[in-house]
């Protein structure tokens, strides 16, 4: 990065209020394939370049003091992609963690994963299991990967589990509340995202955290994920800090 870029980042960091940081930031890492096509490269080159972006954003979020970052890494719909691309994507966690696990451990970061993980290939499950075990005693920022994840599936799974408890007599229908339902989601012990970031110009949430995003602030950019950088991330945080979050209420005068 040149000096002008470093200067802009430094100026943006000075504007950020530590008291108004989002506790939980969710990111849809979108645009890898389009980035590769624009460069005249195969799609897998875009996914690999996207990993470099991931490293930079995780480092920045951790340094800022954000508590949770959830990344949409692979959706239940992504299985529809060509088999060669799916196979490559399934090996990315292993490739990423091979070089980044130790630095993440040293930064006291906790790695988590959510989704239908049992359906993942053995090599992917092995890499994830190793990372979860290696960071389970850490106490810092939670880095939560959504793998083979779909928001509708998550809600259906929660409904089935609650229905089973009602059928067993361990729970009464009238005892079902928003708080109880939330505890049956993958993110049951995490705060809902305060901010959702989606690069690439798409203006939708694509079956991501459907329940949890009810009052999340949304931030979109046309920048493709491999070109997304620390400056973009800082601008998203600053934009979030300028918004009024009323949660259905009104401003106090």
Please report, for residues 4, 128, 182, 236, the alpha-carbon distance to residue 189 in angstroms, rounded to integers and kept in the order given.
Answer: 41, 20, 8, 25
Q: Return d(Cα 8, Cα 53) in angstroms, integer.
A: 18
CA distance 239 to 242: 5
> Distance between CA 68 and CA 11 in Å, rounded?
24
Continuous H helices in the chain: 3-15, 32-38, 43-64, 83-106, 122-135, 151-168, 178-183, 230-241
The whole-angstrom separation of Cα 18 and Cα 31 is: 30
Half-sphere exposure of 50 (CA within 13 A, CB side): 26
Round to whole Å and give the CA distance between 193 and 181: 17
Residues annotated as part of the active site: 30, 78
Residue 87 has what DSSP assignment? H
CA pseudo-torsion sign 97, 100, 106, 111: negative
């Amino acid at each position: 990065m040149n000096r002008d870029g470093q200067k802009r980042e430094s100026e943006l960091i000075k504007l950020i209020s530590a008291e108004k940081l989002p506790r939980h930031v969710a990111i849809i890492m979108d645009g890898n394939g389009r980035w590769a096509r624009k460069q005249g490269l195969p799609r897998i080159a875009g996914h690999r370049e996207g990993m470099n972006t991931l490293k930079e954003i995780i480092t920045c979020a951790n340094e800022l003091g954000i508590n949770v970052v959830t990344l949409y890494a692979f959706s239940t719909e992504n299985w529809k992609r060509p088999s060669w691309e799916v196979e490559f994507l399934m090996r990315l966690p292993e490739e990423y963690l091979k070089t980044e696990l130790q630095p993440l451990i040293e930064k006291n970061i906790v790695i988590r994963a959510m989704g239908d993980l049992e359906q993942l290939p053995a090599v992917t499950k092995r890499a994830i299991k190793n990372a979860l075990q290696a960071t389970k005693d850490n106490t810092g920022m939670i880095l939560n990967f959504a793998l083979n994840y779909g928001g509708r599936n998550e809600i259906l799974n929660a409904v089935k589990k609650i229905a089973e408890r009602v059928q067993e007599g361990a729970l009464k229908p009238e005892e079902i509340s928003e708080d109880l339902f939330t505890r049956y989601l993958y993110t049951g012990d995490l705060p809902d995202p305060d901010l959702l970031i989606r690069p690439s110009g798409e203006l939708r949430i694509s079956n991501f955290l459907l329940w949890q995003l009810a009052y999340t602030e949304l931030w979109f950019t046309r920048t493709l994920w491999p070109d997304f950088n620390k400056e973009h991330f800082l601008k998203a945080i600053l934009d979030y800090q300028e918004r009024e979050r009323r949660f259905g209420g009104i401003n106090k005068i």
